[in-house]
Copies of this chain bind each other. A is one copy, B any other.
């Protein structure tokens, strides 16, 4: 059995960003906090915390912190009414385009989410499942259909993407558009894991983009397109005002890409997380495309 007081000390140090504040929070001495964590590391034979400023968990430390959250959730399911006000920390891996568009409304619709503190880990839709496999998160929204070991997946609907640019940008690159040299047109890429622009070019029968700007911030991504620095794949849901006003237009008329989204969860799901999932699925199906 794991040493749970040591896990609590670990989580307190991470959340309070220091040993002294963790000690205050737990109402024990700072040396007691250090000792618990050292003993935990001794037993496990590897570090759980990097002694940086502020301290950060190792990969193992993060897995233990997440495990403690899951145990606390299971405890909450046993709890009496006295504890009903207690808030839960819920760590979710989500793709940026979900948290940037439909997900906040879905969480807001779930009454259970009023008792949750969310910790969103933003990963590309094609790699978020790694966080689930590593046991770092309690649920995951991503494009993979296949559940992880010990997990299940539920279909949410699809996000529709379009390749969008400013009208001035499209005008500037009209020669490349006409000449089917789309790989010569600068594009925006969200992160090294973001392959949507590559898939768009592939569908147009050309190779990888020759020029690109890498921008891992979503407002920045849209604003770089508006400012005419590149085109990029954006969810329709995210840029409805810009599509209506004509500030963003399709680079290739009629091109659309639908990416399916799944909610991945553990078979040992707590009642609170089941309630959250059911509410999220319901709202997702109002915003995403089904098919």
Query: Number of residues in A with C-beta < 8 Å to the partner?
Result: 40
Q: Are A218 and B220 in contact (CB under 8 A)?
A: yes
Residues on B with beta carbons closer than 8 Å to the beta carbon of A228: 108
Q: Which residue of B lies closest to A14 (CB)?
A: B192
Complex formed: what's the CA distance from A258 to B104 in Å?
A: 28
Interface residues in A199-257 by Cβ distance below 8 A to B read 208, 211-220, 223-224, 226-229, 238
Residues on B with beta carbons closer than 8 Å to the beta carbon of A54: 192
Q: Within the complex, which residue of B99, B104, B220 is in contact with A226, where a contact is CB–CB below 8 Å?
A: B104
Q: Are B192 and A103 in contact (CB under 8 A)?
A: no
Least CB distance from A50 to B in Å reads 13
Least CB distance from A237 to B in Å reads 10
Q: Within the complex, which residue of B17, B186, B214, B238 is in contact with A219, where a contact is CB–CB below 8 Å?
A: B238
Q: Are B217 and A104 in contact (CB under 8 A)?
A: no
Residues on B with beta carbons closer than 8 Å to the beta carbon of A16: 208
Q: Within the complex, which residue of B99, B104, B212, B217 is in contact with A96, where a contact is CB–CB below 8 Å?
A: B217
Residues on B with beta carbons closer than 8 Å to the beta carbon of A101: 219, 223
List the interface of chain A (C-beta within 8 A of B): 16-17, 54, 56, 87, 96, 99-101, 103-105, 107-108, 113, 117-120, 122, 186, 192, 208, 211-220, 223-224, 226-229, 238
